[in-house]
Amino acid sequence: MKAVVQRVTRASVTVDGKVVGSIGRGLLILLGIHREDTEADGDWICGKVARLRLFENEGGPINASLSEVGGRVLVVSQFTLLASTRKGNRPSFNDAAPPDHARALCDRACRKLEQLLGSRVEQGVFAAHMIVELVNDGPVTITLDSRNRE
Contact yes or no for 106/126 (Cβ under 8 A): yes
* 6 assigned to active site: no
* 55 assigned to active site: no
Active-site residue, selected from the candidate residues 80, 115, 126, 143: 80
Active-site residue, selected from the candidate residues 79, 85, 115, 141: 79
Contact yes or no for 43/146 (Cβ under 8 A): no
Active-site residue, selected from the candidate residues 6, 14, 55, 78: 78
Contact yes or no for 78/124 (Cβ under 8 A): no
* 93 assigned to active site: no
CA angle 18, 135, 51 (to 5 degrees): 105
**Closest residue by Cα to residue 28 from 2, 61, 3:** 3
β-partners of residue 15 are 18
Q: How many CB atoms lie within 10 A of CB 31?
A: 26
Would you name the residues annotated as active-site residues? 78-80
